[in-house]
């Protein structure tokens, strides 16, 4: 079904043409006019394709269809990017309205009977494997979307999809818009790093403003001694988009259930997993149950250590609370592993991290990445071009720091799909890092998102422009998750991790980081499994009688490490409930695949260029031209499994 492959959280491109002014400074009126123009063009092309009397072949149907998708996708995804990054609210609003119209067109293709009939006439006999895979992919999309139903039912399905897209957008936008803040006395920041304090100036009343941006809150939880402040900040963070998103989410759940029933599924989770690697919710339950069993004993041990450490701070503490976890973990790392996190962050200045990640990609994949000066949507955005053997193969942008109105999480947004000999792929990373020193965990996040970007660029070199989005939805996080491993590798870190004096991060310090690396991983995995359960169970049952607050408390009581904070409603700001639907399990599933992919790198060397080259060409570059399982098998030389990841967690 198209909504599953081209969701607002998944597909994002850009166009830089057809505007009287800069595409980044177009007026709302220009945006609306341009939007209608490219929609009209696409509709005209679709009519021509579906009414053609020419014999249906790959060349006469699939190739022009792919070209149409790319031509339409570029300006649409430009608008989708603008609604997430532009500083002008009116432009964001106009871009949002256009994006909703555009995705309604994409959704409509899954019920376009003439298009279905045209593609169904294309024989796969004699086609190249990637071409045959593409034809079969689209046939499965049609079949899963109810193409065989009568026109009246298809119209209802289309209307339902449009409503779901609109509601999902509202849910996500409410999260972006609700950036909260509190003012606290400067002395309450005791324990925070010096650069953090310097970056939060005191006002004329002696107060400091703390917002809910990730760069603001992370150091609070990790370093600040004031326990009440940690609690207040977490309460503020977990209250975002409430109460406005409660009714929105309830409506989204109900509409998705109705859609699933229209398409003959028992619930939305079943529908959402059509075309995934796991295929059905029962397999997700089995998989997550195996992980829960693996971490059961480690979670007990970790919680006991954290509670014992907090009781050294205050003997009256009887229960480990969520606002204490990061703080206690940091103390244990300092004392039991002799790891000073403040010392670690001295080696991770944003500019150096950025350059180091770029250099890593160049070294691994034998490419050249060069900064360029081009028009962008904000003065802080950094632009790059990617070359291979002096040939330009792609472009990308870093939008790395928080600002008002910008997307508040971290994600890769595509800009142009790319196609061999036709179009260069382009992408952007939207992140919210501090401009100075970073936590090592933020460096890991940076590399994760950069993994998505590399995947996008490399997949944009083949002959099928839309192939990047033909892969199974639950494979997409695996390549980026795997790349996180390199921020723990001394040979990688020594190339860019230097302090203000230019001194390279000591090898002994990296060894301490690795010794402390897995402390807390069981608790972290348990948190992810809590989100997985929330995501799955919201969608694997009828919504009648569902009371979100009660449901969330029940999930937390059953799965979470800590009690749900009184008065908070984390589901309201859990953006994945819109973008990922029932499929939040994807992150743990991807961890399992990443562990398998890494096994070859660990055997042959993390910086082995031949291994990296095989990985690029056997996995990244051909995503969506074969099943993901086949790609992984081709790279490993064997079938993959999830047991290695479960075994790792149990230790």
Strands (E), 193-300: 207-211
| Runs of H (alpha helix) within 460-585 | 478-483, 490-493, 507-516, 521-539, 548-559, 576-579
pLDDT at 594 exceeding the cut of 50: yes
Task: Estimate the share of the chain in helix, then strand, then coil, as percent rounded to the nearest 5.
Answer: 60, 10, 30
pLDDT at 19 exceeding the cut of 60: no
Q: Please state, rounded to an integer, the average pLDDT across all residues of the chain.
A: 93
What phi and psi values does residue 416 have, to the nearest 5 degrees?
A: -145, 140
- The radius of gyration of the chain from alpha carbons, rounded to an integer in Å, stands at 25
pLDDT at 2 exceeding the cut of 80: no
Token output for 483: 């790349």
Q: CA 103, 106, 110, 113: dihedral to nearest 10 degrees?
A: 120
Q: pLDDT tens across 149-159, in order?
A: 999 999 999 99
CA separation, residue 167 to residues 7, 52, 69, 250, 274 (Å) = 12, 36, 24, 10, 22
What does the pLDDT average to over 59-63? 97
Instruction: Look at residue 149 in the predicted model and tell me its pLDDT.
Output: 93
Q: Does residue 243 have a cis bond before it (omega within 30 degrees)?
A: yes
Beta strands 207-211; 181-185: pairing state: antiparallel
What phi and psi values does residue 363 have, to the nearest 5 degrees?
A: -65, -45
Instruction: Look at residue 222 in the predicted model and tell me its pLDDT.
Output: 97
Q: For residue 629, what is the enclosing H or E element?
A: helix 628-636
CA separation, residue 491 to residues 46, 392, 485 (Å) = 52, 28, 12
Beta bridge partner(s), residue 419 = 423
What does the pLDDT average to over 596-609? 96
Confidence (pTM): 0.91
Instruction: Look at residue 110 in the predicted model and tell me its pLDDT.
Output: 83
Tell the residue number behind the tokens 């203000």, with chain if given: 500
Instruction: Look at residue 1 in the predicted model and tell me its pLDDT.
Output: 31
pLDDT at 121 exceeding the cut of 90: yes
Give me the helix-helix angle, 151-177 and 89-109, nearest 10°: 150
Q: pLDDT tens across 71-108, in order?
A: 999 999 899 999 999 999 999 999 999 999 998 888 88
pLDDT at 20 exceeding the cut of 60: no
Q: pLDDT tens across 494-527, in order?
A: 999 999 999 999 999 999 999 999 999 999 999 9
**Pick from 461, 467, 480, 483: which is nearest to 627 by CA?**
467
Instruction: Look at residue 109 in the predicted model and tell me its pLDDT.
Output: 87
Instruction: Look at residue 111 in the predicted model and tell me its pLDDT.
Output: 87
**Pick from 365, 418, 361, 360: which is nearest to 614 by CA?**
365
CA separation, residue 433 to residues 379, 436, 440, 575 (Å) = 16, 9, 12, 19
Q: CA 284, 289, 292, 297: dihedral to nearest 10 degrees?
A: -160
pLDDT > 70: percent of the chain: 97
Give me the helix-helix angle, 322-336 and 281-313, nearest 10°: 70
pLDDT at 354 exceeding the cut of 70: yes
Q: CA 623, 626, 628, 634: dihedral to nearest 10 degrees?
A: -100
Beta bridge partner(s), residue 498 = 504
Q: Tell how far CA 581 is from the center of its chain.
A: 13
pLDDT at 539 exceeding the cut of 80: yes
Task: Return the half-sphere exposure (C-beta side, CA atoms, 13 A cut-off) of residue 488.
Answer: 17
Alpha-carbon gap, residue 487 to 477, rounded angstroms: 17
Q: Which domains does the chain have, with CATH numbers?
A: 2-110+112-145 (1.20.1050.40), 180-237 (no CATH)
Instruction: Look at residue 485 in the predicted model and tell me its pLDDT.
Output: 96
pLDDT at 14 exceeding the cut of 70: no
Instruction: Look at residue 137 in the predicted model and tell me its pLDDT.
Output: 94
pLDDT at 232 exceeding the cut of 60: yes
Tell the residue number behind the tokens 């989100």, with chain if given: 531
Tell the residue number behind the tokens 């606002």, with chain if given: 323
Instruction: Look at residue 23 in the predicted model and tell me its pLDDT.
Output: 82
Alpha-carbon gap, residue 205 to 227, rounded angstroms: 23
Instruction: Look at residue 83 in the predicted model and tell me its pLDDT.
Output: 94
**Pick from 266, 581, 143, 245: which is nearest to 258 by CA?**
266
How would DSSP label each residue in 566-586?
A: TT--GGGG-THHHHTTT-TTH
What does the pLDDT average to over 535-554? 96
Instruction: Look at residue 611 in the predicted model and tell me its pLDDT.
Output: 98
Angle at 430 between CA 11 and CA 224, to 5 degrees: 135
pLDDT at 18 exceeding the cut of 90: no
Instruction: Look at residue 244 in the predicted model and tell me its pLDDT.
Output: 98
User: What single DSSP character describes residue 110?
Assistant: T
- Residue 92: which region, alpha, beta or left (left: phi > 0; alpha: psi -120 to 50)? alpha
pLDDT at 478 exceeding the cut of 80: yes
Token output for 564: 């749900």
pLDDT at 294 exceeding the cut of 60: yes
What does the pLDDT average to over 591-618? 96
């Amino acid at each position: 079904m198209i909504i599953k492959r081209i969701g607002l959280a998944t597909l994002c491109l850009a166009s830089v043409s057809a505007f009287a002014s800069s595409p980044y400074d177009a007026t709302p009126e220009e945006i609306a006019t341009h939007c209608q123009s490219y929609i009209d063009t696409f509709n005209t092309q679709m009519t021509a394709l579906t009414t053609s009397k020419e014999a249906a072949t790959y060349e006469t149907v699939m190739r022009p269809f792919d070209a149409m998708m790319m031509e339409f996708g570029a300006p649409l995804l430009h608008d989708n990017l603008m609604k997430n990054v532009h500083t002008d609210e009116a432009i964001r609003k106009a871009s949002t309205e256009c994006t909703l119209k555009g995705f309604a067109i994409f959704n409509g293709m899954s019920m376009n009977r003439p298009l279905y009939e045209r593609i169904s006439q294309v024989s796969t006999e004699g086609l190249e494997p990637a071409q045959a895979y593409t034809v079969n992919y689209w046939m499965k999309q049609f079949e899963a979307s109810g193409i065989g139903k009568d026109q009246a039912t298809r119209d209802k399905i289309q209307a339902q999809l449009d409503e779901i897209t609109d509601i999902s957008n509202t849910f996500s936008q409410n999260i972006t818009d609700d950036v909260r803040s509190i003012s606290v006395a400067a002395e309450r920041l005791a324990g925070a790093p010096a650069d953090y304090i310097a970056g939060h100036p005191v006002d004329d009343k002696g107060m400091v403003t703390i917002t809910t941006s990730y760069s603001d809150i992370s150091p609070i939880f990790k370093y600040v001694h004031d326990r009440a402040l940690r609690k207040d900040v977490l309460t503020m963070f977990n209250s975002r988009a409430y109460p406005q998103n409660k009714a929105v989410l309830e409506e989204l759940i109900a509409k998705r259930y109705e859609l699933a029933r229209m398409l003959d599924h028992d619930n939305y989770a079943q529908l959402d997993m059509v075309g995934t690697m796991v295929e059905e919710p029962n397999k997700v339950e089995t998989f997550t149950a195996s992980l829960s069993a693996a971490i059961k004993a480690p979670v007990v041990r970790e919680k006991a250590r954290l509670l014992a450490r907090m009781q050294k701070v205050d003997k009256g503490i009887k229960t480990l609370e969520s606002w204490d976890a990061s703080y206690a973990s940091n103390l244990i790392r300092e004392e039991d592993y002799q790891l000073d996190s403040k010392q670690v962050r001295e080696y991770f200045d944003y500019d150096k991290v950025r350059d180091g990640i770029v250099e890593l990609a160049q070294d691994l994949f034998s490419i050249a990445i060069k900064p360029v000066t081009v028009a962008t949507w904000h003065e802080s955005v950094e632009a790059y071009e990617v070359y291979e053997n002096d040939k330009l193969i792609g472009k990308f942008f870093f939008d790395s720091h928080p600002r008002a109105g910008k997307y508040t999480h971290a994600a890769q947004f595509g800009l142009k799909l790319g196609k061999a000999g036709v179009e260069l792929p382009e992408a952007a990373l939207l992140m919210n890092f501090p401009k100075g020193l970073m936590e090592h965990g933020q460096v890991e996040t940076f590399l994760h998102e950069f993994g998505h970007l590399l995947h996008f660029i490399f997949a944009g070199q083949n002959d099928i422009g839309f192939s990047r989005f033909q892969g199974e939805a639950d494979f997409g996080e695996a390549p980026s998750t795997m790349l996180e491993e390199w921020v723990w590798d001394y040979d990688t870190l020594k190339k860019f991790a230097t302090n203000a004096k230019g001194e390279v991060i000591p090898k002994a310090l990296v060894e301490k980081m690795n010794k402390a690396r897995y402390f807390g991983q069981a608790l972290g995995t348990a948190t992810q499994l809590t989100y997985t359960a929330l995501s799955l169970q919201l969608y694997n049952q009828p919504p009648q009688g569902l009371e979100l607050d009660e449901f969330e408390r029940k999930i937390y009581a059953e799965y979470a490490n800590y009690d749900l904070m009184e008065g908070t409603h984390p589901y309201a700001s859990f953006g994945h409930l819109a973008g990922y639907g029932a499929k939040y399990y994807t992150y743990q599933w991807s961890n399992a695949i990443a562990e398998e992919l890494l096994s070859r790198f660990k055997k042959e060397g993390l910086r082995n260029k031949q291994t990296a080259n095989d990985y690029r060409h056997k996995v990244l570059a051909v995503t969506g031209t074969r099943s993901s399982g086949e790609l992984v098998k081709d790279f490993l030389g064997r079938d993959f499994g999830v047991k290695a990841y479960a075994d790792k967690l149990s230790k």
